[in-house]
Amino acid sequence: MAHYDLSTPITEAQTRALRIDDTVTLNGPLFGIRDATQIAMFDRGRATRFDLAGHAVIHTAPNVKKVDVSPANPTGYAPVCIGTTTSSRMERFTRPLLERCGVRIVIGKGGLGVASLAAFGEIGGAYLAIVGGTAALETTWIEAIEDVDLDDLNPESLWRFRVRGFGPLRVAMDSHGGSLYTSVDADARGKRAAALAALGVNARPAR
């Protein structure tokens, strides 16, 4: 298990070096996306002026406050609390993010499914697990909100954060077919019969 300190954007080779259970700390631009952002981009054909090639995206919609535009807050938004949402709702957008936008890293919580895992393998991508529900800590890793696009979708705008020492994050899905979620799920389902036996239930097949 290796640790990588990466500055975005990264290359395909850097992405493919990542293996499950490695840890990563990110520096540089990080893009915030969510359900509405990706519905707009991939279902409704909205274009973004941001170049996401080689970059990392995080499943988020932040708490922000409106402030005067300044060098520190060029968008007129200052961060209040920035955390991470459940990734699985956005499963079908992983492939277009990689294929059409050139995204290399998806950061989220709770994991993605088999279609995303296939896209990571074919195109070269990885999923980094952050600890969900720890947004106060996560916010301390964010230096600024550098830019925002598609802001009519606020809070589900396309955000460009600048991060430093963002992590450590755990590589939970890699480009070699590895997924911690698949292995943990298989192990847990393997323990189903024992858990039911402890409850005095004769295990029947799962619904």
Partner 1 sequence: MLRIDPGVVENVAKELYIRALKILPPDIKQGFDTLAARETAATAQNVLGTMIRNIAVAEATDNLLCQDTGIPIYNVTIGRGVELSGDDGAALKAAIRKGCERATREHPLRSSIVHPLTRANEHTSCGIGVPVIQIDHRDEIDGLRIEMIPKGSGSENNSWLKMAVPAEGIDAIKTFVIDCVLDAGGKTCPPTIVGVGVGGTADLCMHLAKIAATRPLGTHCADAEGAKLEDELSGAVNMLGVGPQGLGGDATAFAVHVELAATHITMNPVAVNMQCHSARRASAAITSAGVSYGF
Residues that bind partner 1 (CB under 8 A): 21, 36, 60-66, 80-86, 88-89, 109-111, 129, 131-137, 139-140, 154-155, 170, 172, 180-181, 183-185, 187-189, 191-192, 194-196, 198-204, 206-207
- Estimate to the nearest angstrom the gap between the alpha carbon of 106 and the chain centroid: 4
Nearer to partner 1, 56 or 173 (CB): 173
Which DSSP helix (H) or strand (E) runs through 115?
Answer: helix 114-119
Smallest distance from partner 1 to CB 84, Å: 7
**What is residue 105's three-state secondary structure?**
strand
- Estimate to the nearest angstrom the gap between the alpha carbon of 1 and the chain centroid: 20
DSSP, res 49: S
DSSP, res 40: I
Smallest distance from partner 1 to CB 181, Å: 6
Smallest distance from partner 1 to CB 114, Å: 14
Nearer to partner 1, 65 or 176 (CB): 65
Residue with tokens 């598609």: 150
Nearer to partner 1, 46 or 89 (CB): 89
Contacts 24+ apart (CB under 8 A), 45-51: 46/150, 48/149, 48/150, 48/158, 49/149, 50/147, 50/149, 50/158, 50/160
Nearest residue to 106 (alpha-carbon basis) of 121, 85, 90, 125: 125
Smallest distance from partner 1 to CB 205, Å: 10
Nearer to partner 1, 72 or 194 (CB): 194
Nearer to partner 1, 53 or 81 (CB): 81
Smallest distance from partner 1 to CB 158, Å: 16
